[in-house]
Amino acid sequence: MKDAQAFNFDGDYGEIYEDLVHKVIPGYDTLFPATLALLMERIGAHARVLVVGCGTGRELAVFAPNAPGWRFTCVDPSMEMIQLTSQKVKQLGVQDRAILVHGFAHDLPAEPVFDAATIINVMHFLRDDGAKDQLVQSVSGRVRHGGAVALFDLHGDREAPYFDFFYKAWKRYMTIRGYEGEKKESLLKRLAAGIAYVPEERILEICEGADLCLVRRYWSGLLYGGWLFERQ
């Protein structure tokens, strides 16, 4: 059973999150421009975009200046993350284009329907006991038919021969990036306690069950992957 408190975004983990992600997630700084480029090709210059798990406001920081015709609804269950995103909104001067919601995707009204949604670094925190399915279904149900969903997640089949090899390589990557010592050991304990890994096949199954059709996997970095889906 995974510990839901291992990653407390309203506590100590939230305080270190911004520094951590840039150092431990392969390609993190280029993931968002790549996702933006794909979404712009799919939904055009004027669109409504749902950002699930808005965190520190990274999507807004990259998307808003480059897509001035987009309007955003950003949702996160952590008040700390909502406050950080709020600061980003003010820095960017996009108060008239961004709505922040403290809560979950399933708390949002069924209308308005979005042209696209992002689920980045969210699903791996949820147990595979129906919670992952609920997340994706709640997002898909709020995206118009033909709209796009970009999903990025930490994943893997822990029983497969590759997993230990890639996990060890990931730990080495952290060291290479300068994330080591007590910080690294603390993160590894959190990962062991709180991450619910599932293989790629399970992620695709969850998305298919939510009426999302795979366009293509567009991102891969050690145990991280990114997929673009179309809402059926």
Average pLDDT rounded to a whole number, residues 64-83 = 97
- Position 13 scores a pLDDT of 87
Determine the pLDDT at residue 188: 96
pLDDT for position 1:
44
Alpha-carbon gap, residue 122 to 114, rounded angstroms: 19
User: For residues 85 and 91, what is the distance between their CA atoms, to the nearest angstrom?
Assistant: 10
> Which parts of 43-200 are beta strand (E)?
47-52, 70-76, 98-102, 114-120, 143-154
Side-chain half-sphere exposure of 155, counting CA atoms within 13 A: 22
The percentage of the chain sitting over the pLDDT mark of 70, rounded to a whole number, equals 98
The predicted structure's pLDDT at residue 11: 85
Beta strands in the chain (DSSP E): 47-52, 70-76, 98-102, 114-120, 143-154, 212-221, 224-231
Give residue-wise pLDDT tens across range 161-195. Answer: 999 999 999 999 999 999 999 999 999 999 999 99
- What is the structure's pLDDT at 2? 60
The rounded distance, in Å, linking the Cα atoms of 119 and 54 is 9
